[in-house]
Amino acid sequence: EPEVTQTPSHQVTQMGQEVILRCVPISNHLYFYWYRQILGQKVEFLVSFYNNEISEKSEIFDDQFSVERPDGSNFTLKIRSTKLEDSAMYFCASGQPGQGETQYFGPGTRLLVL
């Protein structure tokens, strides 16, 4: 059964550095999402992406964040200048037309900003 994959599984970075989190969605899915979960808190929506553009973003998704689908298979989340409070688990998800809001999640990338 196809699954969403994410790399790396863990990332440690220094404050102010740029990080790129990578996701490979399920191949015939057209809707892509990023969520994050700060330790001990809720899973929070960051951004949705469809037809090569952002369809919705949350207040968290400020100018430091960007998403891209560079090659038709990968879906990336970039944080330009990381802050301590960006430390969280980041989940990618994808969905297919006709299945409504059923989203399939990746295993997550744990980001630690020091």
Partner 1 sequence: AQRVTQPEKLLSVFKGAPVELKCNYSYSGSPELFWYVQYSRQRLQLLLRHISRESIKGFTADLNKGETSFHLKKPFAQEEDSAMYYCALAPSYGGYNKLIFGAGTRLAVHP
Dump the DSSP string for 13-30.
E-TT--EEEEEE--TT--
Site residue total, partner 1 (CB under 8 A) = 26
Q: Which is nearer to partner 1, 63 or 101 (CB)?
A: 101
The binding track of 13-52 with respect to partner 1, each residue x by CB under 8 A or -, is ------------------x-x-x-----xxxxx--x-x--
Q: Which is nearer to partner 1, 81 or 99 (CB)?
A: 99
Q: Please give the span between the terminal C-alpha atoms of the chain, in angstroms, as a whole number.
A: 37
* Contact status, residue 33 vs residue 93, Cβ threshold 8 Å: yes
Task: Return the ∠ at Cα 23 (arms to 90 and 20), rounded to 5°.
Answer: 65
Residues in touch with partner 1 (CB under 8 A): 3-4, 31, 33, 35, 41-45, 48, 50, 55-56, 58, 91, 95, 100-108
